[in-house]
Amino acid sequence: MSEDIYQDVFSSFRGEEGELISILLRVQERIGYISEEAVMRISRFLRLSENQVYGVASFFSRFRFDAPGKTSIKVCMGTACHVHGGSLLADAVGWDLGITYGQATPDRRFDFQRANCLGCCTLAPVVEINEQIQSRVLVTKLKETMNRREEF
């Protein structure tokens, strides 16, 4: 990872402990996850131990510690989607890819996340594939899409 990215992120902060979450968010925005190098660099910048940085980051489910996959699949698990079968869709994706949400496939082709609400509840259940909303998704339709994975 380029030195410049961290320098660039740190340049907006004063190096105070209270800035940890904001820095973690900014780093994840830039590189997609919190790498070992990121933990080390942040710990030096804030004069905290790496365990302290990792401990705070791992407390929040929004931080991830492995590189994201190329094709992003987000299954909405908000209330409207949940009652319309969102968990069945999540099970289908997880089963098909052999991973659970929060993970990428070992070849980094797919990334599986769940969302709390994607903002289009009337179209529930909703799945977002590479930032494109798929509405009123059925497990069979999703499986067809997953089977065409070469297209991604």
Q: Which residues bind ligand FES (CB under 6 A)?
A: 76, 78-81, 117-121, 124, 126
* 1/83 with CB nearer ligand FES: 83
Provide, rounded to whole angstroms, the least separation between the CB of residue 53 and ligand FES: 32
* 47/141 with CB nearer ligand FES: 141
H/E stretch holding 132 reads: strand 132-134
Provide, rounded to whole angstroms, the least separation between the CB of residue 21 and ligand FES: 25
Residue type, 19: E
Provide, rounded to whole angstroms, the least separation between the CB of residue 78 and ligand FES: 2
